[in-house]
């Protein structure tokens, strides 16, 4: 090897398939490039370049490395894989359905519809906009699947439409936590249900109540002063016979 600092890398692992069979591999890299690899069942190495041919001939000739890798990938690795799956079964089998919210706004004659999915796990989800029964993926803009601080995920999909065609659009969401895909539509809130209007009405109502309380307080204060001055607004007259 040339003098100086060099880096070796190793990537190895196994897959336990549904039929009980095992698939495994062991790969080596040198200075950031592929060097030599081994696939379970082949009992031979694949050299990535001429320098790796020397290692390939040596390892295949003595057979020790081949036996070691075969035993590890075929027996030890699947045992550890099953153990880790048992440890993490609760997390691996966790399925939190998404909370879906559809919104929209109109600007310059274009209606933009957004479909947001919050708090789902695992982080694999399908969000599609439909016009009628047709999925409109070519017109859809997607956000990435972004992790939340609690370990769940959120994502969104957006599409532009004509305002008059609003009722034709639906958002289709498919996730492992849902028994079947959900179809969601944007239902614009009436003016009396909109947040700004509710806030304004609440403020006005509070002002009216405060004014009423002040008026009652002033009235009681004035009434108290009149009683203290001996003023009787309706004096009675004693009649004797």
For residue 234, count other CB atoms closer than 10 A to its CB: 4
Can you give the pLDDT at residue 20? 86
Residue 220: what pLDDT?
Answer: 64
Q: What is the pLDDT of residue 199?
A: 54
DSSP state of 194: S
Say which CATH topology domain 8-92 has.
3.30.500
Residue boundaries of the structural domains of the chain: 8-92, 99-184
Q: Give the global pTM.
A: 0.50
Task: Round to whole Å and give the CA distance between 202 and 52.
Answer: 78
In the chain (241 residues long), the average pLDDT of successive 10-residue segments reads: 86 91 94 94 92 93 93 95 88 90 94 97 96 94 95 96 94 96 87 48 65 66 60 45 39
CB atoms within 10 A of CB 177: 14
State phi, psi for 180 to the nearest 5 degrees. Answer: -155, 160
Residue 241 pLDDT: 39
DSSP string, 6-72: --EEEEEEEEE-TTS-EEEEEEEEETTEEEEEEETTT-SEEESSHHHHHHHHHHHHH-HHHHHHHHI
Over the Cα atoms of the chain, what is R_g? Answer: 38
Quick one: tokens of 130? 């439909």
Helices (H), 72-194: 77-87, 89-92
Distance of CA 144 to the CA centre of its chain: 9
Q: Domain 99-184: state its class.
A: mainly beta
């Amino acid at each position: 090897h040339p003098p100086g600092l060099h880096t070796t890398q190793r990537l190895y692992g196994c897959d336990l398939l549904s039929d009980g069979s095992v698939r495994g591999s062991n790969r080596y890299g040198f200075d950031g490039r592929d060097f030599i690899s081994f696939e379970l069942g082949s009992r031979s190495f694949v050299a990535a370049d001429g320098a790796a041919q020397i290692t390939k001939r040596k390892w295949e000739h003595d057979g020790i490395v081949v036996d070691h890798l075969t035993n590890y990938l075929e027996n030890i690795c699947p045992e550890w894989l099953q153990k880790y799956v048992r440890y993490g079964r609760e997390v691996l089998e966790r399925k939190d359905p998404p909370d879906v919210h559809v919104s929209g706004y109109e600007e310059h004659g274009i209606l933009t519809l957004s479909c947001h999915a919050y708090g789902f796990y695992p982080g694999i989800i399908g969000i599609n906009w439909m016009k009628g029964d047709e999925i409109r993926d070519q017109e859809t803009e997607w956000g990435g699947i972004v992790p939340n601080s609690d370990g769940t995920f959120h994502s969104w999909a957006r599409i532009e439409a004509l305002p008059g065609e609003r009722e034709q659009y639906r958002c289709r969401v498919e996730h492992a936590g849902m028994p079947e895909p959900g179809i969601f539509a944007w239902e614009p809130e009436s003016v009396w249900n909109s947040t700004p209007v509710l806030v304004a009405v609440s403020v006005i109502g509070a002002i009216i109540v405060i004014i009423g309380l002040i008026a009652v307080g002033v009235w009681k204060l004035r009434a108290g002063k009149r009683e203290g001055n001996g003023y009787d607004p309706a004096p009675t007259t004693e009649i004797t016979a």
